[in-house]
């Protein structure tokens, strides 16, 4: 399946905030959230449609690579969008946002769209960070904010897609240089002869297989 654009995302945030689960939840809906199962992945791709255009999202989790400065640096730079995730049940993950943001701002392309995600919104009883605090932080730093739950899939779609929409708008405005792949944006192959099968990935399969497994 061909696409008009490919956007590369990264997911950042403290360990244990549920980054890889969010990723899997978004890229492969067939993995239905179950209470006794936590599954995540470090990479995923999925096709979405914005403004009638097929857009492929490629999401790279940067977990486990923080030890190497060169790696985080490069990751930031190669992405068009970033999801900055914290855990609403752990105050410290919220407190570290500033550091993450500083890093992101320092290393990334200045046009990178950053979305702030308060994850695990299903655990309302253990909430330590108020929604208003997240909103305030986002407002202060010019981010888009959303509370999600990888468990219940609440807002997961929206988080990724809204980010994509913002990137798309920036492309329309001419802010992003789309011919420069270093920005994390790629123009799709002009002629896709390989048919619907190749490159469809999880999303394509998700559409076809739907909830067939259960």
Which residues does 129 contact at the CB level (< 8 Å), separation at least 6?
Answer: 86, 88, 89, 90, 91, 94, 118
- Closest contact distance (angstroms) between CB of 71 and another protein is 5
- Closest contact distance (angstroms) between CB of 205 and another protein is 6
Pairing of strands 5-12, 53-61: parallel
The interface with another protein within residues 22-81 (CB under 8 A) comprises 24, 28, 30-31, 34, 36-45, 58, 60, 64-65, 67-71, 73-75, 77-78
- Closest contact distance (angstroms) between CB of 57 and another protein is 12
Which CB sits closer to another protein, 45 or 129? 45
Note whether 205 binds another protein by CB under 8 A. yes
Rounded Cα distance, 137 and 56, in Å:
29
- Closest contact distance (angstroms) between CB of 48 and another protein is 15
Which CB sits closer to another protein, 46 or 90? 46
Asked if 101 and 204 touch (Cβ cutoff 8 Å), the reply is no
Q: Which H or E run includes 167?
A: helix 156-173
Among 16, 177, 192, 207, interactor with another protein by CB under 8 A: 177
Which residues does 143 contact at the CB level (< 8 Å), separation at least 6?
Answer: 84, 101, 114, 115, 116, 137
Asked if 3 and 57 touch (Cβ cutoff 8 Å), the reply is no
Residues near another protein, by CB under 8 A: 8, 20, 24, 28, 30-31, 34, 36-45, 58, 60, 64-65, 67-71, 73-75, 77-78, 177, 180-182, 197-202, 204-205, 208-214
């Amino acid at each position: 399946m061909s696409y008009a654009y490919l956007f590369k995302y990264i997911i950042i945030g403290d360990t244990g905030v549920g980054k890889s689960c969010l990723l899997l939840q978004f890229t492969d809906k067939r993995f239905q959230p179950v209470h006794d199962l936590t599954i995540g992945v470090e990479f995923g791709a999925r096709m979405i449609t914005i403004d009638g255009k097929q857009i492929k999202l490629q999401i790279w989790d940067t977990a486990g690579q923080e030890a190497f400065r060169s790696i985080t640096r490069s990751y930031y730079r190669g992405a068009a969008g970033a999801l900055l995730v914290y855990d609403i049940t752990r105050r410290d993950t919220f407190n570290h946002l500033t550091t993450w943001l500083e890093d992101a701002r320092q290393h990334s392309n200045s046009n990178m769209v950053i979305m702030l995600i308060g994850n695990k919104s299903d655990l309302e009883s253990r909430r330590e960070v108020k929604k208003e605090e997240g909103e305030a932080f986002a407002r202060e730093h010019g981010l888009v904010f959303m509370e999600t739950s990888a468990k219940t899939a609440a807002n997961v779609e929206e988080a990724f897609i809204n980010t994509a929409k913002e990137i798309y708008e920036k492309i329309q405005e001419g802010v992003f240089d789309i011919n420069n792949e270093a920005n994390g944006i790629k123009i799709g192959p002009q002629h896709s002869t390989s048919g619907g099968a190749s490159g469809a990935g999880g999303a394509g399969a998700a559409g076809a297989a739907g909830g067939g497994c259960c």
